[in-house]
Structure 1
Amino acid sequence: MTDMGQNSSVHILVVEDNRTQGEYLRYLLEKEGYPVIITTNGKEALESIQKRRPHLILTDVMMPEMDGYELCSTIKN
């Protein structure tokens, strides 16, 4: 396990519609000291990004509302 303060300035957004998988990713990342925000689809992710820009986005591909491909394309544009 790493020092909690070392990674606390790197914010991660997890975009995952499966709650169990999202929470498991949160558990793993927070255990290493990374602050994590979870959203359940691309539209929610875009709203979250406008509030606070993450350093890293981990996204599922198949999700309701807006899938991972659309999300990546929208962020890129």
Structure 2
Amino acid sequence: MQSSRREKVLCVFKLNTGQDDHAIMSLDDHLTEIHFVVKIMEVFEWFKTHVIDKKPDPSIDHRELVQIKSMGL
């Protein structure tokens, strides 16, 4: 396992369980997960900037979201 870590094939994470628990994940899977989180954050930023910050109403329906998105924002 040490050689796999050195060759950047595996990632080992210490889990926050209060014990000596670890998780093992392939580097490719780890990078895929990071990419997914980055995309989710981009969607959230768009939603915050173009919906939450500009629409005072407590709710929005699908039609309104499509209209905002179609404005090229």
Q: Would the TM-score normalized by the shorter structure come out above 0.5?
A: no
TM-score, length-scaled by structure 2: 0.26
Higher relative contact order (CA 8 A, sep 6+): 1
TM-score, length-scaled by structure 1: 0.25
Tell me which protein shows more helix as a share of its residues.
2
